[in-house]
Homo-oligomer: A and B are copies of this chain.
Amino acid sequence: MAIPEHVYDNTRMSEGDPRSIRTMTAVQNAAVQLLETAGWDSVHVKGICQCAGISRSTFYQHFQEPWQPITRHLQEAFAREFPSLLDGTAHLEPEELLLSGKPLSFPLFVHMESCRSIYVPVFADLRGGMIRQHLVEQITQLSRAHHEPLRRISPHRVDADLVARYLAGGLVAAAGWWILQEPRDTPAAMAYWFSRIAAPGLLQTMGLDSLLAE
């Protein structure tokens, strides 16, 4: 599925401008704080502008919808936590991708645990739906990129987009269940569970059964 361009284009001003960055940060912090303390009812453009001390037109210079600053905040948090996964410097080995103690799902579960106060309302309420969709898109791209080493050694052609979407959709839905539990398993336990469920069928379909051996 082609990702509509506007999905990732939620910044219109130059990102390099320090004043613009300060405003973006203020808007993001305001939206997140409103969600965490007062819930979805308070996450609207008017409330975000009041909380951030900006005008409506300034908001619309940076974002189109009130959920977008929250998505942006989560993206930036993930980028700070796991920069090497996004800048292409992470070198994941095929053997580690799906079945080691640290598959690709592990940093995603860690990130969700660290931002749990945001993810709980995102997953507990239908109004978090757009953020969840956005998350599926982002994880699809991440999964597609990081599973390239598997495709390189696979004797079968399996559509990379289809697999990445399946994994991202399953991961976000499972993570949304997990993050609402109290008490709940650790991120490492969830990553282990996710690999046990997802890896065998995927590796068999790719003709990489040998990676499944202990």
Residue among A123, A132, A166 with most chain B CB within 10 A: A166
Contact indicator B166/A170 (Cβ below 8 Å): yes
Contact indicator B4/A124 (Cβ below 8 Å): yes
Q: How far is the CA of A180 from the CA of B204 in the complex (A)?
A: 26
Q: Contacts A126-B133, A205-B196; is A174 near B169 (CB within 8 Å)?
A: yes
Q: How far is the CA of A129 from the CA of B6 in the complex (A)?
A: 14
The answer to the question of A167 belonging to the interface, with a C-beta cut-off of 8 Å to chain B, is yes
- In the A-B complex, the 9 residue pairs with the smallest Cβ-Cβ separation, listed nearest first, are A169-B173, A170-B170, A200-B200, A129-B133, A200-B201, A169-B169, A197-B201, A166-B174, A165-B173
The answer to the question of A188 belonging to the interface, with a C-beta cut-off of 8 Å to chain B, is no
Contact indicator A173/B166 (Cβ below 8 Å): yes
Copies in the complex: 2
The answer to the question of A163 belonging to the interface, with a C-beta cut-off of 8 Å to chain B, is yes
Contact indicator B132/A133 (Cβ below 8 Å): yes
Q: Contacts A196-B201, A201-B196; is A161 near B177 (CB within 8 Å)?
A: yes
| Residues of chain B with a CB closer than 8 A to A200's CB | 200-201, 204
The answer to the question of A198 belonging to the interface, with a C-beta cut-off of 8 Å to chain B, is yes
Q: How far is the CA of A206 from the CA of B170 in the complex (A)?
A: 18
0/1 interface trace, chain A 97-137, chain B, CB 8 Å (1 if under): 00000000000000000000000000111100110111010
